[in-house]
Amino acid sequence: MGAASSAIKGRNQERARLATAPRRCQKPAALTETAPPRPRRFLPGGPLKGRIRVPGDKSISHRSLMFGALAVGETRVTGLLEGEDVMATAAALRAMGATIEREAEGTWSILGVGVGGLLQPEVPLDMGNSGTSTRLLMGLVASHPITAQFVGDASLSKRPMGRVTEPLGQMGAEFSGTTLPLTERGLCPAVPITYRLPVASAQVKSAVLLAGLNTAGITTVIEPVPTRDHTERMLSGFGADLSVEEASGERVIRIRGEAELHPQTIEVPGDPSSAAFFAVAALVVPGSDLVIENVGLNPTRAGLYDVLRQMGGQIEELDRRDVGGEPVADLRVRHSALTGIEVDPAVAPSMIDEFPVLFVAAALAEGRTATRGLDELRVKESDRLAVMAEALRLAGARVEEREDGLVIDGTGGEPLPGGGPVATHLDHRIAMSMAVAGLASRSGVEVDDTRPIATSFPQFETLLDGATASLPA
């Protein structure tokens, strides 16, 4: 028997073993309405000093697990974010046949099943609070001959999935609805399509490209507005036949299906979205001088830092380098006198998750900050425009909510009065943003529930307390 035949036989034996083996899915702890909330009042503390390192990038962590699960062989990942959202992805991939093991904190081994090798899950795939897990995994399932039920927590179950089910339906997948819980029936062979994104969405783009991996022919996605490009970078690194070109001011991404992905060794850089909370905190708390190590600065993700610099923020990049094809640097951030600006809506896709904490910076700047073109924030884990407007008003800020953005008149560097309790609506970014507001207040800001923070940044409170030498109330 030749080497190739032996390899195929070995893969088939492994798939057969996985098909009959008991599942070892580690189900994330969902935030249920019956579980007790964990309120906290975040008090003003000392300046942020020293050096910290935030957890691995959430977007890259999700994709490392997914692409490793579709490669033939062992992929090794260091720096993986071990928050609940990423663990939901790991559990779902285990349920579909991949072997995913934690070897040490942040270090993981993934034994993939190969493109086309996903198995029928025996249980519903519980996505917890993770929209990224849900939409990208729908893309994977779409071109496999399996049926999967997706379920999630109360917050995720309200989020619209139609923007993903529509193009995947064109490829042949069938869906029982457009919100969770829903059932998806994949089609193999699926139909390659050319799809122009009606709204800027890296998740929709990625879902279509992932469906295209196991679809004969060429699947094309056209982006009128560029979005984060981790999927394109990483799929190319895993060996996919993928091309990106500019045409008439648009990005055209093509992927050739029936791909064979090759295992990789991946070092996940620090999450720029997680670093954003500490960067804003250091800018607005007097006396702060903080270095945030190993922050990913992919240009499709780093819009917030450019906007903060436009406002007068002192943010210096140290030791800029490449890690796994992604630009990375240590950020030195010092307390700065910020000035309000009109934020160009064209930058929204590169900082869509960072607007809640930018609103906090705006509340402490000199003059008026105006944002627009942020309709997408109304369909996140919460309606982030309405929720942040109300939260900042409770803390004493002057905020006007408009249809597609907020207008904020800042304090000119004076602390916010403080107050609360702020309703987080199970949204981790609301909770962390208002924690930062509490540091720059006179009496502190109370949030009604800090449990959602664990979905993306389990160490947040510990790091914050250490950097400011403050103690929980």
Tell me which residues are annotated as active site.
353
Task: Give the pair of three-digit tokens for residue 135.
Answer: 């939409």
Tell me the β-bridge partners of 56.
270
- In the block, tokens 């064209």 appear at 346
**CA dist., res. 375 & res. 257, Å (int):** 34
Alpha-carbon distance values, 31 to 19, 340, 399, 432 (Å): 30, 36, 30, 17
Tell me the β-bridge partners of 266.
77
Each residue of 122-144: b (16+ CB within 10 Å) or e? eebbbbbbbbbbbbbbbbbbbbb
For 61, residues 6+ apart whose C-beta sits below 8 A from its C-beta are: 77, 80, 81, 86, 89, 268
**CA dist., res. 301 & res. 418, Å (int):** 31
Task: Give the pair of three-digit tokens for residue 133.
Answer: 């897990």
Cα angle 348, 354, 360 (rounded to 5 degrees) comes to: 115
Measured in degrees and rounded to the nearest 5, phi and psi for residue 6 equal -65, -40
**CA dist., res. 164 & res. 401, Å (int):** 29
**What is the sign, positive or negative, of the torsion defined by CA atoms of 449, 133, 379, 159?**
negative
**CA dist., res. 300 & res. 231, Å (int):** 12
Are the CB atoms for 338 and 282 separated by under 8 Å? no
Q: Is 231 left (phi over 0), alpha (psi -120 to 50) or beta?
A: alpha
